[in-house]
Structure 1
C-alpha cells in the first residue's frame, strides 16, 4: 500500500467515525432518552439529575440518579408518597412512567413530585435542538399545571 493510499484510507476512516458520531448525537437529541439536570421552576436552581430510558414497549421512564445542592441527601426518603414509593429512598426512585411519543411530544404518562408525594399527568417536548426538555405536570387539563425546563447532560 502506498503512503498516499494509506493516508487516504486513514482520512476516510476518520470521516466515517465523525459521521457515525454525529449520527449518534443527532439520534440522542431527537429523543428525551438520556441524562438531564432538573431545574426548580420556582427557584431556578438545579435540583437533581434524572436519567430517562426507553423500555421494551417504547415507553419512557425516568429515575433520579442524585440530588443537587440542598437536595443532595443520599438518605432522603419520600415520606409524602402515598403509593408503593412511601418512605423509599428518593435516590434511584422512578418518578416518570409511561411516556409515549405523540409526534414531537411525549405524553400519556405520569410524573411524581417527591417533595409533595403527588402524582401528575405529564407531557414533555424538546427544545434547542434537543438540549432542553420542557416537562409539564398537571391535573386534569394541561392548563392546570406547571412546567420545568431540564438541561441535557453530556
Structure 2
C-alpha cells in the first residue's frame, strides 16, 4: 500500500468519525427508536410525549406462558395490575434530556421483580444505549447496554 493510499484511508477514517460525532451532537431525540436489552430477552420502544421520554415493551423473546396465554405483570406490587400483559407495558417514564447524550430523572420498572428504580440513559454511539438503574444515588446500581434495532 502506497503512502498516498494510507493517507487517503486515514483521512477518510477521520471524516467518518467526525460525521458520526456530529450525528450524536446534542440531539435530544437521538434516543428515539426500538432498543434490545443486553440479555436479548426484550425490546423497548423509546418515544417522546411533550418534553419527556418514555419506553414501552414492544417485543419479548418469550411472549407467552406455557399454556399459550400472554405473559403478564405477575410480580407487580399492585395486585390489580398483575393481569396486565407485559408486552405493551410502559416500563420507562419521565426522562428529560440533560445534554451530552444523557437523559436523566427517569424511572424504570422491572417486571421480573416488580420493582421501580431511578434511571438514567447515555447514548454512547448512534446504536448503543447505556441504561443505568439505581436506588438512591447512581453509584449504587446496574448498567445494561442496549442495542438499537429500529430508528424512529
| Pairwise TM-score range, normalised by the shorter structure | 0.7 to 0.9
Normalised by the length of structure 1, the TM-score is 0.71
Unaligned runs of 5+ in 2: 1-18
Q: Which segments of structure 1 move beyond 2 Å, counting only runs of 4 or more?
A: 71-74, 83-87
Aligned residue number for residue 32 of structure 1: 31
Calculate the TM-score normalised by the size of structure 2. Answer: 0.72
Structure 1 segment 39-118 matched on structure 2, within 5 A = 39-40=38-39, 46-56=40-50, 58-68=51-61, 71-73=62-64, 75-83=70-78, 85-104=81-100, 105-118=102-115
Consecutive unaligned residues of structure 1, counting only runs of 5 or more, are: 1-21, 41-45
Q: Quote the Cα distance in structure 2 between the aligned partners of 1:47 and 1:124.
A: 19
Count matched residues: 120
Residue 153, structure 1, aligned to residue 146, structure 2: no
Indicate if the aligned counterparts of 1:81 and 1:87 stay in contact, CA closer than 8 A: no
Tell whether the 8 Å contact from 1:76 to 1:89 is kept in structure 2 after alignment: yes
Larger deviation, residues 72-81 vs 108-117:
72-81
Which residue number corresponds to residue 116 of structure 2? Answer: 119
Structural RMSD (CA): 2.0
8 Å CA contact 2:63, 2:87 repeated in 1 = no
